[in-house]
Structure 1
Amino acid sequence: MPRDPDPEDPIAPDALVLTAAFEDPLDERRPWLERDDLVGALEIPGAETPVYVTDSGIAVTTTGIGKSDAATTVTAILSNPGVDLESTYVVSCGIAGSSPETTALGSVAIADAVVDWDRKHRWDHRSDAAGTDSASEASTEDHSIEERPIDLLAYRPRDYIHRLEEAVVDCALEAARDVDLCEDADARDYQRSYSNAPDAGPTIERGTTVCGDEFWHGPRYAREVQWLCERYGVGPYVTTQMEDAATATALERFGLRERYLSVRAVSNYDRAAPGQSVAESFDGNPASLALGIENAARVGGAVVSELAGADPLGIGSRNVD
């Protein structure tokens, strides 16, 4: 039974693992709760679910899907005196989308940059050119604008990108490369329906993850995402998800972003395969979804253990005088 946090005896985990969902078939939390014995759970006001504590010193909770849920949950935990994160690494771990041209289904990416997809302009330049909102009367002279109806924000006090701490990313990659990734024949068959997908099994990747609340799907929107990443100097993107920019921002506000990491496994591609509808392709298939959840937890577990043991930033309690 979850208990209320105790400010007089706060938990101080080595790592806080954040999953987005906990209900089938998107139960990213289950492998973590089965990995170690639970020694307690805290009911944090404002959090999506309890914060579970394992006997290996890891805390696990679910933020909810999307940026507002993630920001609210993380802020609630950060501001609760019953939780001490001064010696804690924070790891988002779960599934994500990717381009079929980028990597195999079930591959796991360690992010070195998080781009906020929602912070941009989106407009119809055709109405500007023609002086009307009628597409049939609009000028089509500038085809590049027609292909890319987005731009960086005109008022931009900063670039909406989080470049993650290199020492933490490198430590995570070192641990991830020793993980035996699962493969699945059904997921591989589905992957082969994409002619431009690699004919290979899951791999470990490093690169940019893009975060947004918009459920976009298809090559047109993928080109826009790619353009935004290139403008920030972090293209190409490797994964897409819905929480990590919000999590990174919340941690930044509390001065803790340097210990943040994103571990995301590819469960689906961001466009339809030949002969598929968008609706049919959006969630991948059951095999690729299960494979992504499993590989994310496998790699995430190894990464969390390495971060706690190697402590690349020197923030652990054993380093405190």
Structure 2
Amino acid sequence: MSDSDDALPTPRTPDPDAPVCPAALVLTAAFEAPLDERRPWLERDEIAGALEVPGADTPIYLTEEGIAVTTTGIGKSDAATTVTALLAAPGLDLESAYVVSCGIAGSSPDTAALGSVAVADAVVDWDRKHRWDHGSSGSDSSAPGDDIGTADERPIDLLAYRPRDYVHRLEESVVDRALAAAGDVDPLEDDDALEYQREYPAAPQTGPTIERGTTVCGDEFWHGPRYAREVAWLCEAYGVGPYVTTQMEDAATATALERFGLRDRYLSVRAVSNYDRPAPGESVAESFDGDPASLALAIDNAARVGSAIVEALIEADPLGIGTDRSA
């Protein structure tokens, strides 16, 4: 489904004198195949209207249940720009809305089955760090090793100038309510995805589950065991290890919401579409894109579990922000 699809309403410009007040805002990153994370949301509910907000990636589609759905674009700069545009739009009032990033993510094969859905309780910014080339003396540099090494040798470190830790610890009551709702959902399974998963000896031998933990956000398309060890080290340094998922938008979204005083109602719900390293006998290049079956499974499970979470947040309103407003 695309923005030009005849089934979607024509977007209108928000009216500052009659602002739209959704009960929830769902943010997916992409809307084009094969990464169309938005499609299940638009197919799941009746779309009652649409808004065109300057600076946003795509129109906001409004369901009859008071849920706003849009895309941010892929990566931190796109996410920050879109979310800031939505927060600053005079005809859109998000004061009474829970905000949920929902889509696909990577994970370690040691952590979760493909298609598993993780609700984050912490969001780490992978790009805020030092990266050192200790083999360089100002001329030719040697190839870095595979180990994190000692403090004088490891290739990454926390920023020396760090006014704060670059990790967002999300509101516990919202995370707890989301996990309770997610626990009532049976994630879909796929035989082809499970067959691919079994190429990883350390991966679970069962189907998708619901997880809780840290998600790591970065603009770098890293892949492979060496970088995975660095990501794990950074999470441990912040006291939020081990990581469960990796993605490219959520630290930017959380930062934009924090600047507007609304981070407490934020959630990251991510389904595992691929592993962050190759299987035995597989090259990094061969494993980078994962498997089409696990990608499709993750997109469907993210929306399936995410929808239950959004409905539960609107009904329970754990922060008392007034989610009974309609779009």
Give the TM-score range, shorter chain. over 0.9
Amino acid at match of 1:53: L
Post-superposition shift, 1:134? 3.2
CA distance in 2, matches of 1:292, 1:136: 39
Q: 1:228 — aligned with what? A: 234
User: 1:216 and 2:225 equivalent?
Assistant: no
Give the ranges of 4+ consecutive aligned residues of structure 1 lying more than 6 Å apart after TM superposition: none
Please point out which of 96, 109, 112 is paired with 1:103: 112
Post-superposition shift, 1:148? 2.9
Q: 2:86 — aligned with what? A: 77
CA distance in 2, matches of 1:4, 1:239: 36
Q: 1:179 — aligned with what? A: 185
Structure 1, unmatched stretches of 5+, are none
Q: Deviations over 1:77-134 (max 9, x none)?
A: 000011011110000000000000001000000000000000000011222xxx4433
Post-superposition shift, 1:283? 1.7
User: 1:51 and 2:78 equivalent?
Assistant: no
Q: How much is the aligned-residue C-alpha RMSD, in angstroms? A: 1.8
Secondary structure of the residue that 1:126 maps to in structure 2?
coil
Contact 1:126/1:133 (8 A) holds in 2: no
How many residues align? The count is 314
CA distance in 2, matches of 1:314, 1:248: 20
Post-superposition shift, 1:26? 0.2
Amino acid at match of 1:21: A
Q: How does 1:38-187 map to 2 (within 5 A)?
A: 38-127=47-136, 131-135=137-141, 143-144=149-150, 148-187=154-193
Amino acid at match of 1:77: L
CA distance in 1, matches of 2:75, 2:141: 33
CA distance in 2, matches of 1:317, 1:107: 28
Post-superposition shift, 1:316? 1.1
Q: Deviations over 1:153-184 (max 9, x none)?
A: 11111100000000000000000000011000
Contact 1:188/1:201 (8 A) holds in 2: yes
Contact 1:172/1:307 (8 A) holds in 2: yes
Residues 183 and 89 (structure 1), Cα distance of their counterparts in 2 relative to 1, 3 Å cut: same
Residues 89 and 143 (structure 1), Cα distance of their counterparts in 2 relative to 1, 3 Å cut: closer
Secondary structure of the residue that 1:308 maps to in structure 2?
helix
Residues 304 and 317 (structure 1), Cα distance of their counterparts in 2 relative to 1, 3 Å cut: closer
CA distance in 1, matches of 2:100, 2:268: 6
Residues 136 and 18 (structure 1), Cα distance of their counterparts in 2 relative to 1, 3 Å cut: closer
Post-superposition shift, 1:58? 0.3
Percentage identity across paired residues of the two chains: 78
Structure 2, unmatched stretches of 5+, are 1-9
CA distance in 2, matches of 1:244, 1:198: 26
Residues 78 and 175 (structure 1), Cα distance of their counterparts in 2 relative to 1, 3 Å cut: same
Q: 1:201 — aligned with what? A: 207
Residues 82 and 125 (structure 1), Cα distance of their counterparts in 2 relative to 1, 3 Å cut: same
Contact 1:100/1:197 (8 A) holds in 2: yes
Amino acid at match of 2:126: W
Secondary structure of the residue that 1:263 maps to in structure 2?
strand
Q: 1:8 — aligned with what? A: 17
Contact 1:126/1:146 (8 A) holds in 2: no
